[in-house]
Amino acid sequence: MRLVLLGAPGSGKGTQAARLKDYLHVPHISTGDLLRAEVAAGTPLGLQAKEVMARGDLVSDEILLGMLEDRFSRDDTKAGFILDGYPRNLAQAAALDALLAKLGQKFDAAVQLEVDNEQIIDRLAGRAQAEGRADDSPESVRHRLNVYDQQTAPVIKFYRDHGQLTIVDGVGTLDEVFHRILAAIGQAQTTA
Q: Which residues are catalytic?
A: 13, 88, 127, 133, 144
Minimum separation from the CB atom of position 35 to ligand ADP (A): 5
Q: Name which of 120 and 165 has its Cβ closer to ligand ADP.
A: 120
Beta-strand pair 109-114/165-169 = parallel
Minimum separation from the CB atom of position 30 to ligand ADP (A): 6
Query: Interface with ligand ADP by CB under 6 A: which residues?
Result: 9-10, 31-32, 35, 52-53, 56-59, 64, 85-86, 88, 92, 135, 144
Minimum separation from the CB atom of position 23 to ligand ADP (A): 21
Q: Name which of 150 and 190 has its Cβ closer to ligand ADP.
A: 150
Q: Name which of 164 and 187 has its Cβ closer to ligand ADP.
A: 164
Minimum separation from the CB atom of position 139 to ligand ADP (A): 13
Rounded distance, CA 51 to CA 57, Å? 9
The candidate with the shortest Cα–Cα distance to 147, out of 65, 92, 67, is 92
Q: Name which of 93 and 182 has its Cβ closer to ligand ADP.
A: 93
**Sign of the Cα pseudo-torsion (120, 121, 127, 128, in order):** positive
